[in-house]
Every structure is written in structure tokens, then in C-alpha cells.
């Protein structure tokens, strides 16, 4: 009888055994994944400048969103391909990429987890905004959310914005941060150091230092789900639900303006 391979992460009660936490993800894979992330972002930014030469690119939010969809999908494919290239068939489980039908179940579980986790996040975000205001600092703003506040976006453009924000971005970002980076760190460190490093790496590209606390907290929740489930799908579900909830609130605000 063949020995069964361990999961990417063990059950909670066995987390004290560091030797059982080896995920198989290599530092080279993480380095290449982030290199592709920044390279693709650079290419997309310069391509948008070329496409909208002489115009303000921010006036074309849904076109920019359409440009991000292939970027996200290519990044996700590259991370999966790198893992398979280094580990062979089935090694993508180290990223939390489990087989069907578990992805849908995992996504739904992640969405349900957003009920308690989302409440705690919005409470923190509200208090954090009050704190920034008391210090005379403006509240943090994300560029993608400003797109949704713009007028004149056609319905099909709004659909592309939703797909980018709630489907392709959560998939690509979770594979990059919780699938690749966190899995590699978790093979070397205990949960909290790995989660905190991943949280910093996740929050800064989304807007700088003002986002470290709110998005860092979101990243910690995503890392916890990755740790508990051994799968990437729960974090994808939570991430997608958070983005969708945020966009719904932004849309409601827009209608009141």
C-alpha cells in the first residue's frame, strides 16, 4: 500500500510540527511569479498610454479593465505552469489548486466566511478612516474604485469592470500571494511571520502605506483561510465577495451623488 502524500498544510492540531509544513513551492517560482506580476503591470500601463495617446487613460476605465483580464489570466496560468514544470503532475496542489468539484464548494465556503470576517473588516476600515481624518489625512482611495464612480460607462463596460474586479483579479492575486508566496514562506516559517510578510506584500501594491492596515488585515484573513483549508478556493471566494461588496457600496454611493 502506497503512502499518501500530505496536504499542502496539515490540520490545525498538527501545526506545531514544522517538518510537515513543506509545501514544495520554490523560491525561484515565487521570484518568477512576482517578476511576471510587475512585468505584466508595466506592459499593461505602457500599452494603455499608447492606446490612449493624447488622452487621459483614466477616462477609459472599462477599456483598462478589459486590458487587465488577459493580464490576470496569463499570470494565473504562468504560476500554475511554473509549479507543474518544477513538481510534475499533481504538484499544483501545493498552491492550493485542488481538483473539481471542490473549487466551487471552496469558493462558496469562502463567501460564507465573509459574513463574520467582512463585518470585522468594515468595522476596522470605518475606525481607521476616522483615525486618518482625526490626524488630518484623507481616507485611502483605490484607483479601481474611482473608476466605478465615473459617469458615462456603458453597461458592457461595467460588466468588464465587475469581471476584472470580482473574478480574474481574485484568482490571479490569490495564486500569487496565498498560493505562491505564502506557501513558500509557510514551508520555512510559522504561520504568523509568513502571514504578516504576505500581508505587507499584498497591501503595498494596492495603494501604498495608507492601505497597510485595512488591506493587511484582509490579507491575514485570507492567509488564515488558506492555512485552515489547505486550498486556494476559500481565499478566492472571500476575496471575490469582499470586492463585490465594496463595488456594490460604491455603486450605491454613486447613485446618490
pTM, to two decimals: 0.86
What was the pLDDT predicted at 55? 61
What was the pLDDT predicted at 170? 96
Query: Which regions in the chain score pLDDT beneath 50?
Result: 1-8, 10-22
Lookup: cell for 205: 501594491
- The pLDDT tens digits for 95-109 are 999 877 789 999 999
What was the pLDDT predicted at 140? 64
CB-based contact 48:57 (threshold 8 Å): yes
What was the pLDDT predicted at 56? 58
What was the pLDDT predicted at 251? 77
What was the pLDDT predicted at 252? 79
Q: How far apart are CA 151 and CA 153, in angstroms?
A: 6
What was the pLDDT predicted at 96? 94
For the chain, give every domain's residue range. Answer: 24-256
How would you class 78 by CB atoms within 10 Å of its CB: exposed for 0-12, middle for 13-18, buried for 19 or more?
buried
3-class DSSP assignment, residue 9: coil
Amino acid at each position: 500500500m502506497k503512502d499518501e502524500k500530505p496536504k499542502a498544510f496539515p490540520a490545525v492540531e498538527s501545526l506545531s510540527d514544522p517538518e510537515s509544513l513543506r509545501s514544495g513551492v520554490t523560491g525561484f517560482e515565487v521570484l518568477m511569479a512576482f517578476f511576471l506580476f510587475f512585468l505584466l503591470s508595466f506592459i499593461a500601463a505602457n500599452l494603455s498610454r499608447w492606446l490612449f495617446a493624447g488622452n487621459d487613460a483614466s477616462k477609459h476605465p472599462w477599456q483598462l479593465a478589459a486590458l487587465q483580464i488577459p493580464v490576470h489570466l496569463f499570470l494565473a496560468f504562468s504560476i500554475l505552469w511554473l509549479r507543474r514544470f518544477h513538481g510534475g503532475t499533481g504538484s499544483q496542489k501545493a498552491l492550493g489548486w485542488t481538483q473539481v468539484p471542490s473549487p466551487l464548494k471552496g469558493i462558496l465556503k469562502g463567501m460564507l466566511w465573509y459574513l463574520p470576517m467582512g463585518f470585522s473588516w468594515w468595522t476596522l476600515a470605518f475606525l481607521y478612516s476616522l483615525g486618518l481624518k482625526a490626524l488630518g489625512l484623507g481616507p485611502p482611495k483605490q484607483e479601481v474604485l474611482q473608476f466605478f464612480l465615473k459617469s458615462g460607462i456603458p453597461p458592457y463596460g461595467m460588466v468588464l469592470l465587475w469581471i476584472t474586479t470580482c473574478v480574474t483579479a481574485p484568482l490571479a492575486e490569490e495564486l500569487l500571494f496565498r498560493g505562491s508566496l505564502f506557501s513558500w514562506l509557510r514551508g520555512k516559517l510559522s504561520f504568523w511571520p509568513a502571514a504578516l510578510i504576505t500581508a505587507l506584500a499584498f497591501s503595498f501594491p494596492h495603494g501604498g502605506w495608507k492601505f497597510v492596515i485595512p488591506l493587511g488585515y484582509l490579507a491575514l484573513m485570507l492567509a488564515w483561510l488558506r492555512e485552515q483549508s489547505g486550498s486556494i478556493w476559500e481565499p478566492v471566494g472571500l476575496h471575490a465577495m469582499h470586492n463585490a461588496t465594496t463595488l456594490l457600496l460604491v455603486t450605491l454611493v454613486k447613485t446618490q451623488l
